[in-house]
Amino acid sequence: MTVMTRSLLVGVVLCAVCVVANGGEAAPAVRSIHELHARDIGGKDVALSKYAGRVLLIANVASECGYTDSGYDDLNALHERFHASGLQILAFPCNQFGAQEPGTNTQVLRFAHKKGAKFQLMDKINVNPPDQHPVYAYLTAQGRDQGPVQWNFEYFLVDAEGHVIRRYRTGTPLTSERAVEQIAAALEDARVYRAERRKQQEQRLQHKWRRPGDTGHHQEL
């Protein structure tokens, strides 16, 4: 496949995401999940740009699924282990698979508290059409493993720049050695990314405030 062909395919995918996210109306291509918004489980609008520089693990959850116990246990364990290092978990309740999340946001939150959830619960949404949420329109069109979500407790790992780097299908043990190593590697990449961004910002500030002809040295009197 030529570079031009690959570029055209990427363009088609991005355009499709935009059309789905806007009810069939064309819109600028979404280049990063940080360009999108979602509501938390309390109904507050969240600009996902607030997570720039952090690693996101995004899951569709349900309270009455056979994977509920293991899914919540894995998410709790990962939050406990990696949140301080920059991992942010966003869990979206969804009732599209077996009608296994029938409750309201309040009921979902009450259930999550019983499960000891410390990670961020989001608004109940559709992760597939019809009425697919823009976040999932973006997620499911990225990377090598594209396509609709198949069941509850699928996971997307998103890097510091807002791009999908891993997709874990239902039944994947997130606390397995392989998955933990992949998450840890993403967090290390994010740490390096944040350090480079800070350095660039410092350099821009120094350039902004340096006076013309100033060499940075002061002559002693």
Runs of H (alpha helix) within the chain: 3-21, 68-82, 105-114, 134-139, 177-209
- 8 Å CB contact between 93 and 101: yes
Give 213's pLDDT tier (boundaries 50, 70, 90): low
What local confidence, expressed as pLDDT, does residue 215 receive?
55
Q: CATH number for the 36-199 domain, one of 3.40.50.150, 3.40.30.10, 1.10.1740.110, 3.30.70.1230?
A: 3.40.30.10
Active site residues: 65
Which two structure tokens, joined as six digits, stand for 67? Answer: 């994977």
pLDDT tens column, 58-106: 999 999 999 999 999 999 999 999 999 999 999 999 999 999 999 999 9
Helices (H) and strands (E) in the chain — how many of each? 5, 7
* Domain boundaries, given as residue ranges, for the chain: 36-199
Q: Is the pTM of this model over 0.85?
A: no
Listed in sequence order, the residues at least 6 apart from 160 whose beta carbon sits closer than 8 Å to its beta carbon are: 52, 53, 54, 55, 86, 189, 190, 193, 194
Compute the average pLDDT of residues 143-163.
98
Give 206's pLDDT tier (boundaries 50, 70, 90): confident
Least confident of 6-10, 92-96, 113-117, 129-133: 6-10
Which two structure tokens, joined as six digits, stand for 123? Answer: 């608004």
Q: In whole angstroms, how far apart are CA 85 and each of 73, 158, 165?
A: 19, 15, 18
The whole-angstrom separation of Cα 157 and Cα 180 is 12
Query: By percentage, how much of the chain surpasses pLDDT 90?
Result: 75
Mean pLDDT value across the chain: 88
Q: In whole angstroms, how far apart are CA 45 and each of 33, 49, 54, 122, 143?
A: 15, 12, 19, 10, 27
